[in-house]
Amino acid sequence: MKRVMLWLPLGVFALLFAVVAAGLIRPADRTVRSALVGKPLPDFSLPALVAGKPGLQAATFRRGEPRLLIIFASWCLPCIAEAPQLMRLKAMGVPIEGIAVRDTAAAMQSFLARNGDPYASIGSDRQSSVQLALGSSGVPESFVIDGQGRIVLQHVGDIRADEVDAIAKAVRNAR
């Protein structure tokens, strides 16, 4: 008994050390994911932001064809990095709809002119209300929505070049 008590503090220290070391070597994933994946898209209707580009309604996603929904903004730097990947997805035939968060028409117009415009529609979400309703925690984020309006996949952060094929495949499989 006494011997056990003698080694106990060292044992406790070793355990604590292992816990801290594990946290340092493999930090926990702090990404906040939407709890709505697998569930229907919440109902919304957003007005248009830029001239000549329609706004966005949830009903658009229930027309039988899977679509990619992008939450983005002209003031968001990773959104610029993501733009070429979206142009590639569009060229592959993926229908892309956008929700612009806290944005202005002029800023969005120059963003589209500079970085390309893969969007079939862009809804203006002035107070992030649709973004919050979707369980999205930042820009950019992408949601793959199947033809019945069900969310099948959420991608947090910008789509990188090596992730384009996986996203395109997820959209194809969402039929």
How many residues line the site for other proteins (CB under 8 A)? 26
3-class SS at 95? coil
Instruction: Decide whether 39 or 169 has the Cβ nearer to other proteins.
Output: 39
Which is nearest to 152 in space by CA: 72, 2, 46, 36?
A: 36
Q: How far is the CB of 174 from other proteins (least distance, A)?
A: 21
CB 19 within 8 A of CB 110: no
Which is nearest to 141 in space by CA: 159, 168, 120?
A: 159
Q: Is the peptide bond before 140 cis (omega within 30 degrees of 0)?
A: yes
Listed ranges 18-26, 62-70, 96-104, 161-169: which one lies at the site for other proteins (CB under 8 A): 96-104
Among 82, 97, 103, 117, binds other proteins (CB under 8 A): 103
End-to-end C-alpha distance for the chain, whole angstroms: 66
Letter string b/e over residues 72-101, b meaning 16 or more CB atoms within 10 A of that residue's CB:
bbbebeebebbbebbebbbeeebbbbbbbb
Mask of contacts with other proteins, 110-139, x by CB under 8 A?
Answer: ----------------xxxx-xxxxx-xx-
Q: How far is the CB of 128 from other proteins (least distance, A)?
A: 4
Report the site for other proteins in 26-45 (rule: CB under 8 A).
Answer: 30, 32-36
Report the site for other proteins in 42-61 (rule: CB under 8 A).
Answer: none
CB 118 within 8 A of CB 89: yes
Q: How far is the CB of 169 from other proteins (least distance, A)?
A: 26
Q: How far is the CB of 120 from other proteins (least distance, A)?
A: 24
- Residues forming contacts to other proteins in the complex (CB under 8 A) are 30, 32-36, 73, 75-77, 101-104, 107, 126-129, 131-135, 137-138
